[in-house]
Amino acid sequence: MAVDLFVISLCLILFFGKLFGSIFARFGLPAVVGEILAGLLLGPTLLNLVTPDPTLAIMAELGVILLLFSIGCETSIKRLYQAGGRAVCVASLGIIIPILVVGLSSAYYLTDSNFTALYLGCALTATSIGISLRVLAQAGHAQTPVGNIILGAAVIDDIAGVILLSVLFNFATQGSLDLASTLLLIAKVLLFLFLTPPLARGLLYIARALKPIADKSGYEVIITMVLICLFAWLAHLFGAPALLGGFAVGMALSRQFISPFNRYLVNPFTFTHKMELSTKAIVDLFAPIFFVYVGISLDLSQLDYSFGGVMLLVWLSLLAIISKLAAGWVAGEGWQNKLVVGSAMVPRGEVGLVFAELGRKMEIIDSKLFTELVVIIAITTLVGPLLLKWSLKNKDPHQS
């Protein structure tokens, strides 16, 4: 992308993202929905002022990495661990039900290829961590027991999505399942999640010790960005989503960080608090770029607008929504908790779009199926935050 086109595209993304996000927030609606609609306005669907581009896609990816960093800063490892059992149950149902329901429906209505139908079902197992957690954070529910279940389940969903994508990729290219490489990938991802927060915490102590006494050059924000980029790269190297690298650094900065070495090391709260505060403006700058870019990535003009085509999309979209709502049934006691967790699992967002794009490039799905899949992802991405906002209404943040 030429420099002049890049800067005007970024200008439009930032301006309209802020405008639409603020308007929606003013009416008590999730700002992310306004930002996604801003992308639909700017993108090929309506005005076609900004088109999808690899450079913008990378900036959007950085936005979601930074967003997960900010979520990690407020995350308690202990509370996340306590939510582990329910999070695993929610994630498991959120994977199995869409594969079965959407896969079988796709085989019946959309395609004669069982593998293509399976791919469509797997593509809709994803959950967008960034979208739901931002709505939860804005509502003051990110660090509640229900919020921890959602966070844990969404992280598991993301990891499972990467593994499923790798398995399907191997099968599509080799015609067989490579069990050894799949198990190796799972082991590497789990190892990354286990080792990186303590490693990042150790690097924080070194960075604090090396800080010049009279430094006024923005040392904390530079170190924070260095760590985020380093661990995002390490996550990619381990086969995990890059956004988990940002999350790991955030957990290392968290004032609620726990490890066996806490008794020997003084909590560097003053330093980590400065790191967190200094990075907030960067998070607020880049995070909306991701949500606007989700909208830009959609081109609704390619849809089949016949009655049959529209009804089929509505039916499959309802299946995609209900199959995730059903996963919330095992989230705990109380219908509101179940509804909150189920609603938070609905948006497919960036992970679903990765599935769709790879399927198109590998010719697993044709251009028509690609457009239909992206539209279903878009509908869940728009409906999910609205459902979540509604389900949180009058809910006490301290209620389990």
* 62-76 tens-digit pLDDT: 988 888 788 778 766
Query: Over 70: is that where the pLDDT of 139 sits?
Result: yes
- Tallying the residues shown for the chain, one arrives at 400
User: For position 7, what pLDDT does the model report?
Assistant: 93
Query: Over 70: is that where the pLDDT of 257 sits?
Result: no
* pLDDT-derived band at 264, boundaries 50, 70, 90: low
* pLDDT mean over 155-171: 74
Task: List pLDDT tens digits, range 276-293.
Answer: 888 888 988 888 898 888
User: For position 267, what pLDDT does the model report?
Assistant: 66
Query: Over 80: is that where the pLDDT of 28 sits?
Result: no
User: For position 372, what pLDDT does the model report?
Assistant: 83
* pLDDT mean over 373-386: 82
Query: Over 70: is that where the pLDDT of 177 sits?
Result: no
* pLDDT-derived band at 231, boundaries 50, 70, 90: very high
User: For position 243, what pLDDT does the model report?
Assistant: 78
User: For position 174, what pLDDT does the model report?
Assistant: 67
Give exposure, 28-46, as e/b (b: 16+ Cβ within 10 Å): ebbbbbbbbbbbbbbbbbe
Query: Over 80: is that where the pLDDT of 77 sits?
Result: no
Per the listing, tokens 């003051």 go with 140
Roughly what angle, to the nearest 10 degrees, separates helices 179-210 and 145-174? 130
Structure tokens at 100: 């079965």
Structure tokens at 202: 């150790």
> With pLDDT > 70 as the criterion, what percentage of the chain qualifies?
87
Q: How far, in Å, CA of 42 to CA of 234, rounded?
A: 34
* pLDDT mean over 49-59: 90
Q: How far apart are the first and last CA of the chain?
A: 49
State phi, psi for 124 to the nearest 5 degrees.
-100, 15
User: For position 266, what pLDDT does the model report?
Assistant: 63
Which residue type does 301 have?
A: S
Task: List pLDDT tens digits, range 310-369.
Answer: 888 888 899 999 999 988 888 777 788 888 888 888 888 666 766 777 777 778 887 778
User: For position 42, what pLDDT does the model report?
Assistant: 94
Query: Over 80: is that where the pLDDT of 301 sits?
Result: no
Question: In 3D, which of 380, 376, 387 has the Cα closest to residue 316?
Answer: 376
Say which residues have a Cβ less than 8 Å from residue 162's Cβ, sequence separation at least 6.
Answer: 185, 189, 239, 240, 241
Q: Which residue has the higher pLDDT, 398 or 253?
A: 253
User: For position 83, what pLDDT does the model report?
Assistant: 65
Which residue type does 324 have?
A: K
What rounded mean pLDDT belongs to the chain?
81
Query: Over 90: is that where the pLDDT of 8 sits?
Result: yes
Q: How far, in Å, CA of 90 to CA of 199, rounded?
A: 29
